[in-house]
Amino acid sequence: MSELWDSIVKAIHLLVSLDHDVYEVAWRSLWIALASCGISFLLISLPLGSLIHFNRFPGKTILITLIQTLFSLPTVAVGLIVFVLFSRSGPLGTFDLMFTPKIMIIGQTILVTPVMMGLVISALSGVDKAVPETATALGASRLQASLVTIREAQFAVITALVMGFGRAISEVGVSMMVGGNIRGYTRTLTTAISLETAKGEIEFSLALGFILILIAVVVNVALLLLGRKRGPIRWLWSSS
C-alpha cells in the first residue's frame, strides 16, 4: 500500500511541477483527437448524416443499422485497415504517412465517424416532424427547413461531437499500430500509459492517467452544463 501511495504522490508532483514529458504527451493527444473529430464532424458526419436523414432511398434502414453496428468497431481493426492501406506495400503507401501524427488523425477519423454520424441521425430523428413542416408552410426552402431541424437538434448534435471526442481521446489500438508510439512525435496518453506501465514507471503512468480522467470529467461536466443552460449554444447558432 505504501508503494502505491508513493507512486500517487510522485505522479501528483509530476503534474504540479508541469513536467515537460507529461504535458507534451497530453497536448499531442488533445490536438490529434480534436483534429480527428473536427474533420469527421464537419466534413463527414454532419453532412452525410443530414443527407441520410432528410432523404428517402432504398436500403436506408439497412444503412443506418450498419452505421450503428460500427459503433463498436474495434480500434485494432481500424488500425489494421489503415496499416494495410498506407504501408509501403499498400495502395496508399506512396504518401509515406505511416508512423506520423497525420496517419493517426486519419485512423481516428475513421474510428469516430460511425459514432458521430449515427448519433447525428438519431438526433435529427428525434426532432418533431412538425418543425420542418411548419418551416416549409411558412415559405422555407428544403435547405432552410433542414437547417431549422438541425438547429432544433443542436444539443443532441453537439453531444454526438462530444461522444466522438471521448472515443478518440481514449483509443489505443489505432495510435499504437499506425503511430508507432514514437517518443516526442506520435506518443499519446493511452500509448504512453501502456508503455510506461510495462516498463514499471507507475508514477508516470498515473500522472498521464490522471490527465486522461480529468479530460473525461471536464468534457462530461461541460456537456451537463450545456444541457442545463443552452443559451450559449442558441447564441452560437443565431450568430452564424
- Does residue 11 belong to any structural domain of this protein? no
- Give CA torsion, residues 202, 207, 208, 214, to 10 deg: 140
- Does residue 178 belong to any structural domain of this protein? yes
Query: What stretch of H or E contains 108?
Result: helix 101-125
What is the residue-wise DSSP string for 154-168? HHHHHHHHHHHHHHH
> Packing angle between helix 202-228 and helix 189-199, nearest 10 degrees?
150
- Does residue 99 belong to any structural domain of this protein? yes
Domain count, the chain: 1
Residues contacting residue 152 through CB under 8 Å, at least 6 positions apart: 127, 128, 131
- Does residue 2 belong to any structural domain of this protein? no
Specify the pLDDT at position 229. Answer: 55
DSSP code of residue 148: H
| Distance (Å, whole) CA 151 – CA 236 | 10
- Does residue 63 belong to any structural domain of this protein? no
Positions in the chain short of pLDDT 70: 1-2, 228-240
Specify the pLDDT at position 171. Answer: 94
| Distance (Å, whole) CA 16 – CA 14 | 6
CATH number at residue 43: 1.10.3720.10
- Does residue 199 belong to any structural domain of this protein? yes
- Does residue 10 belong to any structural domain of this protein? no
Specify the pLDDT at position 228. Answer: 67
Q: Domain residues for 191?
A: 21-55+68-239
| Distance (Å, whole) CA 210 – CA 11 | 8
Considering the entire predicted model, what is its pTM?
Answer: 0.89
59-105 residue pLDDT tens: 999 999 999 999 989 999 999 999 999 999 999 999 999 999 999 99
Specify the pLDDT at position 49. Answer: 96
Cα distances from 19 to residues 11, 92, 194, in angstroms, run 10, 38, 19
Three-state DSSP at 93 gives: helix
Specify the pLDDT at position 222. Answer: 79
Angle at alpha carbon of residue 25, lines to 111 and 204, rounded to 5°: 115
Residue type, 85: L
- Does residue 1 belong to any structural domain of this protein? no
